[in-house]
Amino acid sequence: MIGVAKGLGHIHTQNLAHGNIKSSNVFMNSEGYGCISEAGLPLLTNPVVRADSSARSVLRYRAPEVTDTRRSTPESDIYSFGILMLETLTGRSIMDDRKEGIDLVVWVNDVISKQWTGEVFDLELVKTPNVEAKLLQMLQLGTSCTAMVPAKRPDMVKVVETLEEIERD
C-alpha cells in the first residue's frame, strides 16, 4: 500500500489525478513493492458509461462525486485508494460484494459502529502475531480515505506519512 500511496502522491504533486485506481491496476514489482499502472488513461478514454460489466466494475472504485472520468481529482483517487485498503484489510472484493448487494464502505462502517472491529479483518491477516494495532490504524486510515465528503479525506502526503508510521511501529 505504501508504494501505491507514494505513486499517487507523486501524481498528485504534479496537479494530476490517476482517475482509475482499482485492484487490477496495482501490481507488485520484483522487490515486492506495490506499483500502479494505467496512469493518465482516463483522460484518453471515452467518459460515457456503457452498460457492460467492465464499465460497471470501474464505477465501483470511483468516488461518489465523480461522474466523468476526465474530471477525476486527487480526492477521488484517495477514495479509490481507500477502497483498495478496505479490500486488502477485509479480504472482500468490492466486485463480489456489489453482486450480493453489499456496499463495502457501508459494511465496514457498520461493523465499526457496532464495535465488532475484529470481525472486519481477513482471517489471514489476524493470524500474524502482534498485528492488531497496525490493522486498526490501517482500518482507520482506509475509512478516512473513503469519507463521503471529499474535503474530509486526507491528502496523499498524509496517507503516505501515516502508512510509513504504521510500518515503523
- Rounded CA-CA distance 10/123 in Å is 33
Distances 12 to 6, 72, 99, 134 between C-alpha atoms, Å? 10, 11, 32, 26
Task: Please give the tally of structural domains in the chain.
Answer: 1
Regarding pTM above 0.95, the answer is no
Residue 123 burial (CB count, 10 A): 7
- If the chain, 169 residues long, is cut into consecutive pieces of 10 residues, what is the mean pLDDT of each piece? 93 88 86 75 47 49 69 90 95 73 88 86 90 94 96 97 94
Report the CATH number that the domain containing residue 57 is assigned in CATH. Answer: 1.10.510.10
Q: What is the pLDDT of residue 27?
A: 87
- CA-based nearest residue to 26, from 70, 75, 97, 84: 84
Q: Which domain holds residue 116?
A: 2-168
